[in-house]
Amino acid sequence: MAIKTYIEAIRETLAEEMRRDGSVIVLGEDVGKKGGVFLATDGLWAEFGDDRVIDTPLTESMIVGASIGAAINGLRPVAEIQFADFIAPAFNQLVNEAARMRYRSNNGFGVPMTVRAPYGGGVHGALYHSQSVEAFFAHVPGLKVVIPSTPHDAKGLLRTAIRDDDPVLFFEHKKMYRSVRGEVPDTDYTIPLGSAAITRPGSQITVIGYGLMAHYALEAAELVADEGIDVEVVDVRSLRPLDKATILTSVQKTGKAMVVYARRRSTTSTVRSPGSPARTSPGCPTTTSSRTGSWSTPRRSRTASASSRHTDRRGPRLTGGRAAEPS
Amino acid sequence: MATTKKASASTADRNGSNGAGAGHGKAGPGVSKLAASVGLTDADLLGMYRTILLARQVDERMWVLNRAGRIPFVISGQGHEGAQVAIAWALQKGKDWIAPFYRSVGTLLTFGMGARDLMTAQFAKSVDISSGGRQMPGHYGSQPMHLVSLSSPVATQMLHAVGIALAAKIRKTGEVAMSSMGEGSANQGDVHEGLNFAGIHKLPFILVVENNGYAISVPVSKQLPIENVADRAAGYGMPGFVVDGADVLECYRVAKEAVDRARRGDGSTFIEAKVIRLTAHSSDDQQTKYRTAEELADIANKDPLPRFRKELQDAGVLTAELEARIAAEVKADVEDATTYAEEAPEPDPATAMRWVFAEEWPGETPPPWGFTLRGTGGH
């Protein structure tokens, strides 16, 4: 088993899927000769040529809209939105078209399309190269939203996304591209969407995260382990479908839940938070939950931090500022 | 001629060589001079006439049903049918693709739908082939007929047709993709993005703008700084044609040229048909607030239906006997479709959660203690 970076896993998966299935094409801005601004598609153009690796004009709505059409007519497009911050012009095509096509046609049409986008901050990106936009899309029935945190998961989940018969938004935290390495099997493994991973077993509190925050959660767990707090970390890996069973089973065990994300706290005061099953499930004994996200400003904070911790005041047994107190 | 499975018993019956005509042909038995002038047969011309008439009369029936409180909403194609039927006639049914819009009644009937298919959608019945009763009335689509399911946000569908054309080019299928919309929709950014891409890659794509002069209430003078939307074609490196939408055979001729160009690999075409909107924007609109009585009287003179009828009569193609027969058939079609749709079963509410995804409830399995998915936000 080889050690690979996160972006190597993405790049290899794209090439392998294109070799495996002639209907897979890649399109987006600078994805051709340049190989993408992060080099996620580097080498694809040289191997697969102009027909299957298409440099588009700067037209995000067209990239997604034409991908929908191409998917309707027998291809499996993998579109790249250069930065997740730039996905807004494609919102209409994603939410009103791709997400609803199968439902509104009573299963007549499907859209087997993957839209990849680098997201997240911590890379000097400021207002427009740092956004975490997954919450917008995780609310939309008909879209799948996947955020892997390791090279292993990136490969297994991207394979599944490309082979999926429905539209999948595949968000890659750009800070992880070259900073996260890990073992990647040489086999053609896949990871089903909607299957969370328990990345650290523990007994006193469940910390739920994804993407870069799944790593920070593990780091934090190690820090508080010295204080005698035994943290279980759940990496949800996909926000839709959401593996409620794994989350709830973990929270039933620990009795406490903390959700960590890089997106803004204010965007998550709705049910589509990974922690929501624990708050809304009548069968779940959880009484304490907490959310940590970034500040509610256009410029996001560099990382989620203790200073931005936010406690959900819906739980009947509030613990105030510190949710991680052992019970 | 490509054959498409008939959608229902009332599908417009055509014996013509839809899509097979090739420029000027020779007059002879079954081919009048008029038909030969556009490379079609008399059967084609009669089929076009019948489809235009059916489109008009099924549309008129929808208004009657709406005013009688039987169906909730109508958005009309009246005045557009001549251009719609003629342009779709140039495409190959069952092979080529159309991403239509909500006024495309004539287009849909030409490409395989029947009156029953339209009417069951109006009544939102379970047998509605477009959506199984899920969509608003007027939002049609059929995968087997290559009619892309349409939405309400305007112009989005043209990007789907561009993508279909892209796939056709990559897969070398020889298919042509057409999209139609009104001139109001033509101002959306998606149109610029799509035409630009189609132009760059010389895609087998045709954009048809049916310019009826109004975006609901806003006249074309407040929508466009230029007279013709198709003048924009030059900016996308493709030919643009402006055609009188009441001149059915001219619409066909221009569309045929565009289809041939696309099929040859010579790229996309922008067609603007100047049509009229004989009705209000929809059954919920009061157009006398913004259109004068004089204007409404005047547009009736630009109606494609009587004009095409007279053209066929003058050419000796449409005899009095044929006209009466077609009128009776169309009337029976509309009656049949209305009765069929009214009597068809309602959708089963138990199916309302289906087809959000290809598989049901993907990956969101209940935990061991029997927690159910009810009330937790669905998928």
Question: Which residues on adjacent β-strands are paired with residue A121?
Answer: none
Does any CB of chain A come closer than 8 Å to the CB of residue B363?
A: yes
CA-closest candidate to residue A194, choices B72, B27, B363: B363
Of A70, A244, A283, the CB nearest to B163: A70
Burial A180-212 (b: 16+ CB within 10 A, else e): bebebeeeeeebebbbbbebbebebbbbbbbbb
End-to-end CA distance of chain B: 44
Do B235 and B198 meet the contact criterion of CB atoms below 8 Å apart? Answer: no
Q: Which tokens sit at A270? A: 């709705």
Taking the C-alpha atoms of residue B163 and residue B179, their distance in angstroms, rounded to an integer, is 11
Does any CB of chain A come closer than 8 Å to the CB of residue B148?
A: yes
Do A311 and A288 meet the contact criterion of CB atoms below 8 Å apart? Answer: no
State the pairing for strand pair A197-200/A231-235: antiparallel
Residues 232-261 of B with CB under 8 A from A: none
Block residue for tokens 């598989």: B359
Of A74, A102, A241, the CB nearest to B379: A241
Q: Which tokens sit at A309? A: 């911790």
- Amino acid B359: pLDDT: 82
Rg of chain B's alpha carbons, rounded to an integer?
21
Q: Is residue B42 part of a domain?
A: yes
Closest-CA distance of chain B to residue A242, Å: 6
- Amino acid A308: pLDDT: 35
**What is the residue-level pLDDT of chain A in tens, covering all 327 positions?**
899 999 999 999 999 999 999 999 999 999 999 999 999 999 999 999 999 999 999 999 999 999 999 999 999 999 999 999 999 999 999 999 999 999 999 999 999 999 999 999 999 999 999 999 999 999 999 999 999 999 999 999 999 999 999 999 999 999 999 999 999 999 999 999 999 999 999 999 999 999 999 999 999 999 999 999 999 999 999 999 999 899 999 999 999 999 998 876 654 433 346 666 666 555 554 446 677 777 777 765 544 443 333 333 333 332 333 333 333
- Amino acid A321: pLDDT: 32
Per domain, the residue ranges of chain A are 2-184, 197-311
With respect to CATH, is domain A197-311 assigned 3.30.70.580?
no
Does any CB of chain A come closer than 8 Å to the CB of residue B308?
A: no
Taking the C-alpha atoms of residue A97 and residue B153, their distance in angstroms, rounded to an integer, is 9
Residues 36-95 of B with CB under 8 A from A: none
With respect to CATH, is domain A2-184 assigned 3.40.50.970?
yes
Number of domains in chain B: 1
Provide CB contacts within 8 A for B368, sequence distance 6+: A245, A249
Does any CB of chain A come closer than 8 Å to the CB of residue B136?
A: no
Q: Within 10 Å of residue B5's Cβ, how many Cβ atoms?
A: 9
Closest-CA distance of chain A to residue B312, Å: 38
Question: Which residues on adjacent β-strands are paired with residue B207?
Answer: B179, B270
Instruction: Collapse the DSSP code of A234 into the 3-class scheme (helix H, G, I; strand E, B; otherwise coil) and give the result.
Output: strand
Taking the C-alpha atoms of residue B204 and residue B96, their distance in angstroms, rounded to an integer, is 10
Chain B hits for A164, CB-CB cut-off 8 Å, are: 358
Domains A2-184 and A197-311 share a fold: yes
Mark yes or no for CB contact B189/A107 under 8 Å: no
Q: Within 10 Å of residue B36's Cβ, how many Cβ atoms?
A: 17
- Domain CATH code at residue B198: 3.40.50.970
Q: Which tokens sit at B91? A: 């495409």
Block residue for tokens 């399995």: B365
Chain B hits for A168, CB-CB cut-off 8 Å, are: none
Does any CB of chain A come closer than 8 Å to the CB of residue B365?
A: yes
Chain A hits for B206, CB-CB cut-off 8 Å, are: none
Residues 254-293 of A with CB under 8 A from B: 271-272, 276-277, 280-284
The segments of chain B whose pLDDT lies below 50 read 1-22, 363, 365-367, 370-379
- Amino acid A276: pLDDT: 65
Taking the C-alpha atoms of residue B344 and residue B338, their distance in angstroms, rounded to an integer, is 10
HSE, CB side, 13 Å, CA atoms: give it for residue B83. 29
Do B156 and A100 meet the contact criterion of CB atoms below 8 Å apart? Answer: no
CA-closest candidate to residue A14, choices A83, A73, A76, A93: A76
CA-closest candidate to residue B357, choices A13, A88, A238: A238
H/E run at residue B208: strand B205-211
Burial B188-220 (b: 16+ CB within 10 A, else e): bebbbbbbbbbbbbbbbbbbbbbbbbbbeeeeb
Type of residue numbered B225 = P
Taking the C-alpha atoms of residue A191 and residue A200, their distance in angstroms, rounded to an integer, is 19
Taking the C-alpha atoms of residue B167 and residue A69, their distance in angstroms, rounded to an integer, is 8
Taking the C-alpha atoms of residue B207 and residue B186, their distance in angstroms, rounded to an integer, is 10
The angle formed by the CA atoms of residues B147, B149 and B151, to the nearest 5 degrees, is 135
φ, ψ (nearest 5 deg) of residue B206: -130, 125
Q: What tens digit of pLDDT does each residue of A192-227 get?
A: 999 999 999 999 999 999 999 999 999 999 999 999
Block residue for tokens 């996160």: A6
- Amino acid B379: pLDDT: 40
Residue of A nearest to B98 (CA): A69
Instruction: Collapse the DSSP code of B214 into the 3-class scheme (helix H, G, I; strand E, B; otherwise coil) and give the result.
Output: strand
In the residue annotation, B134 being an active-site residue is answered as: no
Question: Which residues on adjacent β-strands are paired with residue A84?
Answer: none
In the residue annotation, B290 being an active-site residue is answered as: yes
Do A83 and A117 meet the contact criterion of CB atoms below 8 Å apart? Answer: yes
Question: Which residues on adjacent β-strands are paired with residue A170?
Answer: A116, A146
Mark yes or no for CB contact B371/A284 under 8 Å: yes
In the residue annotation, B379 being an active-site residue is answered as: no
Best to test chain B binding among A103, A165, A249 (most B CBs inside 10 Å): A103
Of A100, A243, A283, the CB nearest to B151: A100
Q: Which domain holds residue B115?
A: 33-279+288-351
- Amino acid A270: pLDDT: 38
Mark yes or no for CB contact A106/B134 under 8 Å: yes
The DSSP symbol for A96 reads I
- Amino acid A290: pLDDT: 75
Does any CB of chain B come closer than 8 Å to the CB of residue A145?
A: no
